[in-house]
Structure 1
Amino acid sequence: MKTQIGVLIHLHKFINIDLSTQGIYQLRVSVPGAQPYLIINSTRQEPMSVNEVDEKYICYPENIHRQYFYSQGFLIIYEDEEMLANVGCAFRLEEIQFNSNIQIIMDLLFLDIKSIPDIHSENFAERVMHLHSKMKPVSHASFLISNPHHYNQMYYPVDFDTNHFCSVQTQIFTIPLNISITKQYLEQQIKPQLNTFIYQTIHVLIQDRNILLDQILNIQSDKKIIQLSYKPLEYHINNPDLINLITQSFYELHHDLYVLWCELISILKENYRNLLLLLQQDYCEQIKLRWMNCILINTSQNIYLQSHINHELAKLKRQNLKNTEFHRIIYKEAIIPLHSHPFFYRTTYKKEGLQQNSNDIPHYIVLLHGYQGTSYDMRYWKAILNIRFQDQLKLILPTCNEFINNISIKQQAQELAYEIIDYITHEKVYDFKLSFVGHSLGGIIIRAALPLLNSFQIYMHTYISLATPHCGYAPSKSFLIDTGLMVIQKWNKCKTLQELSQKDNKNIDLTYLYQLSTFEGLEWFNNVVLLASHQDHYVPFQSALIQKTEETNDQKILIYNQMVTNILSRCKKIDRFDINFLITKKKLDKLIGRAAHIEFIDNLLFVKMFIYLFDEFFI
């Protein structure tokens, strides 16, 4: 028994996230053993984006050549540049075995800008036409369809690899268009196992037909499909006309599936937007369901997180976690074994009085780097927020404090506040949401800037800190970090580090960090989200989560606990996360505890998981 499979690939949008080299890019798709036969051009349904590739830089048209389908070729020069491809291709795979797998390969082709003539010439596209043969694959994505005799559909934001970091919004569909069965085969199967045969073939085709029909009618409610011909029949082993009845059912189902397949192609041409949104939502639900396996449940009544306990729980769960997959279309490069994922341990403390913000207003999110960093450090957060929420968010990556070494936290906060005020003023919006994500020192600078942003307090939505030493280093038990801070302070005379270690005043309760604990600001937010890791030896765990430490007569600890009280007394809702990373690299960063500290911004999988699993913080 063999099957003819229809495969359909639709490429919606290409987004440059962090491509390291300027040049011409193009997507090439193949299905081993299949022949591409139809190019699908979709009618545009969204307005022009300010980041869109200029039409004159669309170099090569979409085309079919031999076993390959090629998208348009386009010149990428700028960060965040987008190419609305809106093109797809149908493939036909002839006579594969009924339970065989299908592979789809998407190559990213590239031609370096150094090989291209003057890009500012009027006839740029004509001048580069002869260079197409020089384009080379630099990265690829592959997909495995394990049940091609079922109707399959899936959306994926294909991001290739971190050296060629872009996003291609991709839809994939497969359908069994024809099952070839001989009369002899039917006679052999019917007598011993009629019910099993019917269940594995006709019932599967009926299910495929109904799923696709329901989806088409859901997207186009006014659509009437009158060409369908399948009528349910009953199959009895003693019926002398049984083989003819089964053959008739196969014929009618194949006819209906082909009609519906053509309707699907028509939707992709004329009304792709609704289908895309439907599949994107389904993708988010499925990926969240898979990643929920990596969330550890807090069963105690303690609102504080106990790092050593969580760490042991994570190790135990890693050992026992089974790697289950539920996608019928698997993006092979994106499937990482669950046991190697970061694990999340969460606890929530909530008071009354949270305000409700509308989801229909602009949402600005400020992404702020840490000590001696740059806005580039937050590139993964920027990229995944853009991929997940697309046009729903506007991201602000301040540059005012890049490479700053020796000015106070207060001065850096002033610069940040001025940059945010200037940005939003130029946007000319009067109703919006404002959120913040700060890594390490960035989380403190954001808090210090809040009093200067009090005119925006009714717009505040979410505050997220990533490994931020909110209450200083009093609870630190890391000899390496304490010694390192002391050496850096003596070497650089760094004002920022003096303030972080509360050495800027002889009286601890007069230090800047203590004064900051009394500032207004966090109470304006619906969500205060604090992330820390037991493996991070750069920032004390308790300080990052704004938790009290053990009672003692030590003056530093008493002041520390008072700072915690000062901050928490204002917050309406606090979500605390202890993140357990699987860190396998044996480098100096791991030895001194820095590896986990930078995982919060450098671990792409962690960033994806947090944004998809806890999307309520961003909407």
Structure 2
Amino acid sequence: IFFKAKEELLKELKFQASLYSDLPLLASDLPYFPPEEDDEEFEDGIHLVVCVHGLDGNSADLRLVKTFIELGLPGSRLDFLMSERNQADTFADFDTMTDRLLDEIIQHIQLYNLTIGRIRSFSLISRLLTRPFDILSFLKLQSDFPPTFFLCVFACVCFLGLWLMQKLKKSGSLLQLTFRDHVDPRKTFLYLLSQKPGLQYFKNVVLVASPQDRYVPFHSARIEMCTTALKDRTTGPVYTEMINNLLQPVVEAKECHLIRQNVFHALPNTANTLIGRAAHIAVLDSELFLEKFFLVAGLNYFK
């Protein structure tokens, strides 16, 4: 039947042609889809990539990140968790959202019976930072191989309009992000969080910042001092202490590497560019930026 149908098709064609099934050799012997790897090649387990959206986001926000990692590393044994547990309520306090995220990661690992060799977090605001030791302890129980942590932080806090959003949403996270959850700045959630161990548990800490992003202070995304903080005698010392709390353990940790990436976008002259929003959301919707970022630097941390 196949040969008969093939002959009839060739008769109907108005030009001479040959079908690929008749060719003795193919143009390429490389498979379009790479074959499944043998388990022996991955004795250290698979690499789990946890993609966590930011404020008022959802699980689809980082889909392009997932796409370009998969395209850049074909055949790699990567498993993606596109976090969705917090997308229905991103305005909750960070402790609540951390509990949800940790529970989601553990359930994902148990549901698919995964053997994890490495876990990486590609995040806008990584809620793993609040209690990274919890997931570290769980992974050690699942595998004899020590997990490698990777964190890529894109800060995404816009103070313009936060007061109004706080009034409308009654948000615990907005209070925490704006240091208004306590009258004493040294007792606020973010200050206390800076004192807890966290970043030093990661093998690589990659901070990506753009001076064109007017939603997020450039120095904040890079975790570094700014002129305003140096001149402010009230909150300046608090900001300095937070930076030291965050970076000192990273500097002292021999196996932790801190990398800062500065990004300059080629942006059109639009209203979004003028107010700094275009550069702010480029980490989500700019295929050009994400492709170049992973080709130039990003994929090195996923191999």
Q: 1:436 aligns with which of 93, 116, 121?
A: 121
The answer to whether the aligner puts 1:37 opposite 2:17 as a matched pair is yes
The alignment partner of 1:396 has SS state of: strand
Cα offset for 1:424? 1.3
Q: 2:294 aligns with which of 611, 615, 618?
A: 611
Cα pair 2:48 2:116 within 8 Å, conserved: no
The answer to whether the aligner puts 1:593 opposite 2:276 as a matched pair is yes
CA distance in 2, matches of 1:36, 1:402: 56
Cα offset for 1:359? 9.1
Give 1:272's aligned residue. Answer: 30
Cα offset for 1:512? 0.7
Cα offset for 1:483? 4.6
Over aligned residue pairs, what C-alpha RMSD do you find? 2.6
Pair 1:372–1:267, CA change in 2 (3 A): same
Amino acid at match of 1:608: E
Pair 1:395–1:532, CA change in 2 (3 A): same
CA distance in 1, matches of 2:129, 2:47: 19
Pair 1:429–1:488, CA change in 2 (3 A): closer
How do residues 39-58 of structure 1 correspond to structure 2 at under 5 angstroms? 39-41=19-21
Give 1:154's aligned residue. Answer: none
Q: Which structure 1 residue ranges, 5 or more long, are not aligned?
A: 1-34, 42-88, 91-261, 278-357, 470-480
Cα offset for 1:468? 4.3
1:209-265 Cα distance to aligned partner (Å, 9 max, x none): xxxxxxxxxxxxxxxxxxxxxxxxxxxxxxxxxxxxxxxxxxxxxxxxxxxxx7xx3
The answer to whether the aligner puts 1:378 opposite 2:62 as a matched pair is yes
Pair 1:511–1:601, CA change in 2 (3 A): same
Per the normalisation by structure 1, the TM-score is 0.40
How do residues 525-544 of structure 1 correspond to structure 2 at under 5 angstroms? 525-544=202-221
Pair 1:514–1:542, CA change in 2 (3 A): same
Pair 1:412–1:450, CA change in 2 (3 A): same
1:345-385 Cα distance to aligned partner (Å, 9 max, x none): xxxxxxxxxxxxx8963111011111011011111111112
Per the normalisation by structure 2, the TM-score is 0.79
Q: 1:561 aligns with which of 221, 232, 240?
A: 240
How do residues 8-47 of structure 1 correspond to structure 2 at under 5 angstroms? 37-41=17-21
Q: 1:414 aligns with which of 96, 99, 115?
A: 99
Cα offset for 1:531? 0.6
CA distance in 2, matches of 1:454, 1:412: 18
Give 2:190's aligned residue. Answer: 513
Pair 1:486–1:36, CA change in 2 (3 A): farther
Highest RCO, 1 vs 2 (Cα 8 Å, sep ≥ 6): 2
Cα pair 1:460 1:525 within 8 Å, conserved: yes
Give 2:134's aligned residue. Answer: 452
CA distance in 2, matches of 1:425, 1:511: 35
The answer to whether the aligner puts 1:463 opposite 2:146 as a matched pair is no
CA distance in 1, matches of 2:279, 2:173: 22
CA distance in 1, matches of 2:156, 2:128: 11
CA distance in 2, matches of 1:460, 1:516: 22
The alignment partner of 1:459 has SS state of: coil
CA distance in 2, matches of 1:610, 1:359: 30
Cα offset for 1:497? 1.0
Larger strand proportion of the pair? 1
Give 1:314's aligned residue. Answer: none
Pair 1:580–1:552, CA change in 2 (3 A): same
Larger helix proportion of the pair? 2
Cα offset for 1:460? 2.9
Give 2:84's aligned residue. Answer: 399
Q: 1:484 aligns with which of 140, 158, 161?
A: 161
The alignment partner of 2:235 has SS state of: helix
The alignment partner of 2:195 has SS state of: coil
Amino acid at match of 1:450: P
How do residues 284-363 of structure 1 correspond to structure 2 at under 5 angstroms? 361-363=45-47
1:453-473 Cα distance to aligned partner (Å, 9 max, x none): 13137313311012345xxxx
CA distance in 1, matches of 2:16, 2:199: 56
Give 1:368's aligned residue. Answer: 52
Cα offset for 1:523? 1.2
Cα offset for 1:405? 4.5
Cα pair 1:414 1:452 within 8 Å, conserved: no
Amino acid at match of 1:603: S
Pair 1:598–1:544, CA change in 2 (3 A): same
Pair 1:518–1:598, CA change in 2 (3 A): same
Give 1:241's aligned residue. Answer: none
The alignment partner of 2:283 has SS state of: helix
Q: Which structure 2 residue ranges, 5 or more long, are not aligned?
A: 1-14, 35-41, 141-145, 251-255
Cα offset for 1:449? 4.2
Cα offset for 1:580? 0.7
The alignment partner of 1:569 has SS state of: helix
Whichever of the two has the greater Rg, that structure is 1
Give 1:577's aligned residue. Answer: 261
The alignment partner of 1:395 has SS state of: strand
CA distance in 2, matches of 1:553, 1:585: 35
Cα pair 1:463 1:529 within 8 Å, conserved: yes
Give 1:498's aligned residue. Answer: 175
